[in-house]
């Protein structure tokens, strides 16, 4: 075998190896890019069914505290609060808003901040009935909004009594279809307030079996 032929063979193998290495490198880059694009596409890590992240405006609010076992909208508040539900990687605890704001805020996930306390993320799964005395706190401190934090979130917030002030904003929505069935009062047989309109009076409530609440 001539020296020239040997040189051609070596050159051919060298070019082949170089071509293969380039192809492998390109393939790796494509796989990395695809992984990045899919890993950032869904940032909600809630219960089965997930939720929808949003970014709302801050609202100045009064903050109160309650420990009722059941929610007006059909949720077992202690089961919800102790379930360890997360949304966008953050643990969420049950809360109520005033009846006047339920139509807009029910099933919202909210961020609550207050000076000197911990930031907490809450899930609006209850309604503070306007006929109850605690709901009169909505209009204290020159404000017109109320977030009533359930007992299961007190430790996370760092407070459990009084009428405090802070601010709240929507960060997402998590409807019943995205929540574990065992946090509802009667499981899949529960009828939940899927939605309401206007002032959420009895004539504007929409009660639907939990498995059919598909907002």
pLDDT tens digits for 90-106?
Answer: 999 999 999 899 999 99
Question: Token pair of 181, please?
Answer: 């069935």
CA distances 63 to 17, 43, 97, 103, 141, Å, are: 68, 28, 10, 19, 11
Q: Say if strands 108-113 and 90-98 run parallel, antiparallel, or are unpaired.
A: unpaired
- Write down the domain spans for the chain: 1-41, 52-212
CA angle 105, 109, 111 (to 5 degrees): 105
Rounded CA gap, 176 and 157, in Å? Answer: 24
Question: Token pair of 35, please?
Answer: 């992984």
50: confidence class by pLDDT, cuts 50, 70, 90: low
Residue 111 pLDDT exceeds 70: yes
Q: Say if strands 191-196 and 59-66 run parallel, antiparallel, or are unpaired.
A: unpaired
pLDDT in tens, 127-186: 998 877 778 899 999 999 999 999 999 999 999 999 999 999 999 999 998 999 999 999
Residue 64 β-bridge partners: 148
Instruction: Say what the pLDDT of residue 59 is.
Output: 96
**Cβ 103 vs Cβ 199: under 8 Å:** yes
Residue 5 pLDDT exceeds 50: no
Q: How many helices (H) and strands (E) does the chain have?
A: 4, 10
Candidates 144, 153, 159; CA nearest to 124 is: 153
What is the chain's mean pLDDT, rounded? Answer: 81
Taking the domain 52-212, which CATH number applies?
A: 2.40.40.10
CA distances 165 to 48, 49, 106, 112, 168, Å, are: 33, 33, 21, 10, 10
What's the pTM value of the predicted model, to 2 decimals?
A: 0.76
**Cβ 210 vs Cβ 181: under 8 Å:** yes
Residue 206 pLDDT exceeds 50: yes
């Amino acid at each position: 075998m001539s020296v020239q032929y040997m040189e051609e063979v070596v050159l051919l193998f060298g070019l082949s190896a170089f071509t293969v290495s380039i192809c492998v490198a390109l393939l790796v880059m494509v796989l990395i890019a695809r992984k990045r694009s899919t890993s950032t596409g869904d940032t909600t890590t809630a219960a089965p069914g997930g939720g929808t992240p949003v970014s709302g405006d801050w609202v100045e609010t009064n903050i109160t505290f309650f420990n009722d076992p059941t929610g007006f909208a059909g949720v077992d508040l202690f089961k919800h609060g102790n379930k360890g539900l997360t949304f966008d990687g953050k643990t969420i605890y049950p809360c109520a808003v005033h009846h006047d704001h339920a139509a807009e805020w029910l099933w919202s996930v909210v961020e609550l901040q207050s000076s000197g306390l911990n930031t907490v993320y809450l899930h609006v799964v209850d309604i503070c009935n306007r006929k109850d005395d605690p709901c009169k706190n909505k209009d204290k401190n020159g404000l017109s909004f109320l977030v009533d934090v359930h007992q299961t979130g007190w430790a996370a917030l760092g407070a459990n009594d009084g009428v405090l002030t802070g601010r709240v904003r929507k960060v997402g929505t998590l409807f019943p279809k995205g929540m574990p069935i065992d946090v509802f009062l009667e499981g899949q047989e529960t009828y939940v307030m899927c939605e309401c309109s206007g002032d959420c009076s009895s004539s504007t409530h929409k009660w639907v079996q939990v498995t059919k609440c598909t907002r």
